[in-house]
């Protein structure tokens, strides 16, 4: 499959918009009156007690989520033990319930016999290692070769929080499907594999690609928020803002832990001006995205439908991911696996 650059974004139709929870009469985006990045004095001027402005942010649970993002193995073990028994014992018990796929490989390959397989892969932390600089999260040549090989046998998609062009640049393989911005920017499979007319995509000719962008109308808003986020975090050492096209990511991996509440509060203050945006958490990253009912799980469903695989009772869909946002996809996969059992 050849990826074509500069495809025109698909304008989703009324049916799609209602499925996504986007009001049909939505007027073109205009900036909230007086939207601005909140003024902040020097960092030390931010109150550290649970009073005033920090209450909002802390009571939202955002700080807890920031603290628990990307926990170490020891931290997971300790949390699981809940103070009863040793952390290692608790982790072993947890593993019995949720065994590692790597140690169950024979079981998985037995289950795969005679099934149709579709493979979905997250990018960061799955195909590439987690590194301090998001621009340097390169995948290894061995990993690239493995993904290329598997895509020769099964439909394979990369589902990432990153912008689609960026993840494509990292992966560099053309025979895959790509869903960037947490599934809000999908290059779908060729049109001819779909039986009947599909309401979610622009009708295109045989062999052409479908571009599906359910949050296209949020682009100006996200652009504006990106600017505000950059401005209000620029004095926080180590904080960076990444443009993921339909989402904005605020990284705090390289910020001193003492300053995490400040990062969270600044993001929270910007968000308050945008009720049509919501915040999700990844590995030491806060992700600002549209409120539409769309996530990595919906992207998996969309791709399976587009591939004509959604109603197959012999489908084994596999999703490999490492992050909270991947859990939406795991939920979809569990439903599919249960159909097989």
Ligand X SMILES: O=P(O)(O)OC[C@H]1O[C@H](O[C@H]2O[C@H](CO)[C@@H](O)[C@H](O)[C@H]2O)[C@H](O)[C@@H](O)[C@@H]1O
Binding letters toward ligand X, positions 246-265, x by CB under 6 A:
---x-x-x------------
178: which strand partners?
158, 187
Stretch that binds ligand X, among 78-86, 91-99, 160-168, 206-214 (CB under 6 A): 160-168
CA dist 198 and 5 (Å) reads: 23
Nearest distance from C-beta of residue 278 to ligand X, angstroms:
14
Say how many C-beta atoms besides its own lie within 10 A of residue 278's C-beta: 13
Q: State the DSSP string of 187-248.
A: EE--GGGS-S--TTS----TTPPEEE-TTGGGHHHHHHHHHHHHHHHTTSTT-EEEE-SSSE
Annotated catalytic residue within 55, 79, 122, 322: 122
Choose between 130 and 150: whose C-beta lies nearer to ligand X: 130
Binding of ligand X by 283 (CB under 6 A): yes
What is the SS3 assignment for 299?
helix
Instruction: Enumerate residues 132-151 that contact ligand X by CB under 6 A.
Output: 132, 134, 137
Nearest distance from C-beta of residue 272 to ligand X, angstroms:
22
Stretch that binds ligand X, among 44-52, 106-114, 159-167, 223-231 (CB under 6 A): 159-167
Which residue's entry shows tokens 């009324």?
Answer: 14
Binding of ligand X by 230 (CB under 6 A): no
Binding of ligand X by 295 (CB under 6 A): no
Stretch that binds ligand X, among 30-38, 60-68, 73-81, 155-163 (CB under 6 A): 155-163
Nearest distance from C-beta of residue 162 to ligand X, angstroms:
5
Binding of ligand X by 282 (CB under 6 A): yes
Choose between 137 and 194: whose C-beta lies nearer to ligand X: 137
CB-based closest residue to ligand X: 161
CA dist 209 and 3 (Å) reads: 8
Instruction: Enumerate residues 97-116 that contact ligand X by CB under 6 A.
Output: none
Choose between 144 and 283: whose C-beta lies nearer to ligand X: 283
Nearest to 305 by CA among 177, 205, 189: 189
Cβ atoms of residues 304 and 310 within 8 Å:
yes
Q: Is 122 a catalytic residue?
A: yes
Binding of ligand X by 160 (CB under 6 A): yes
Among 11, 89, 101, 131, binds ligand X (CB under 6 A): 131
What is the SS3 assignment for 97?
helix
Q: State the DSSP string of 153-197.
A: HS-EEEE-SS-HHHHHHHH--SSSEEEEGGGTEEEE--GGGS-S-
Q: What angle do CA 264, 265, 266 make, to 5 degrees?
A: 95
Strands 116-121 and 315-320: parallel
Which residues are known to be catalytic? Answer: 122
Residues that bind ligand X (CB under 6 A): 122-125, 130-132, 134, 137, 160-162, 242, 244, 249, 251, 253, 282-285, 287, 323, 325
């Amino acid at each position: 499959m050849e990826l074509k650059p500069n495809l025109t974004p698909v304008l989703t139709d009324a049916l799609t918009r209602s499925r996504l929870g986007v009001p049909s009469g939505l007027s073109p985006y205009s900036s909230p009156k007086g939207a601005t990045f909140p003024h902040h004095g020097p960092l030390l001027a931010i109150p550290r007690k649970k009073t005033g402005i920090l209450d909002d942010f802390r009571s939202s649970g955002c700080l807890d989520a920031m603290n628990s993002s990307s926990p170490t193995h020891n931290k997971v073990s300790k949390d699981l033990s809940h103070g009863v028994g040793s952390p290692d014992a608790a982790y072993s018990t947890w593993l019995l319930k949720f065994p590692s796929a790597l140690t169950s490989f024979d079981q998985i390959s037995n289950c795969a016999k005679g099934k149709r397989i579709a493979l979905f892969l997250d990018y960061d932390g799955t195909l590439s290692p987690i590194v301090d600089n998001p621009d340097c999260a390169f995948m290894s040549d061995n990993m690239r070769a493995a993904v290329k090989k598997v895509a020769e046998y099964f439909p394979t998609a990369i589902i990432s929080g990153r912008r689609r062009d960026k993840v494509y640049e990292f992966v560099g393989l053309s025979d895959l499907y790509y869903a960037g911005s947490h599934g809000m920017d999908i290059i779908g499979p060729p049109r001819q594999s779909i039986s009947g007319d599909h309401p979610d995509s622009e009708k295109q000719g045989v062999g052409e690609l479908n571009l599906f962008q359910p949050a296209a109308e949020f682009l100006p808003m996200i652009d504006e928020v990106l600017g505000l986020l950059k401005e209000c975090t620029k004095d926080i050492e180590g904080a960076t803002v990444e443009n993921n096209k339909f989402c904005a990511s605020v990284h705090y991996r390289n910020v001193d832990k003492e300053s995490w509440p400040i990062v969270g509060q600044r993001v929270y203050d910007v968000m308050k001006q945008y009720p049509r945006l919501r915040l999700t958490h990844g590995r030491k990253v806060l992700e600002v995205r549209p409120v539409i009912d769309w996530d990595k799980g919906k992207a998996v469903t969309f791709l399976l439908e587009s591939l004509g695989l959604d109603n197959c009772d012999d489908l084994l869909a596999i999703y490999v991911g490492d992050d909270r946002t991947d859990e939406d996809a795991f939920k979809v996969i569990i439903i599919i696996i249960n159909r097989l059992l």
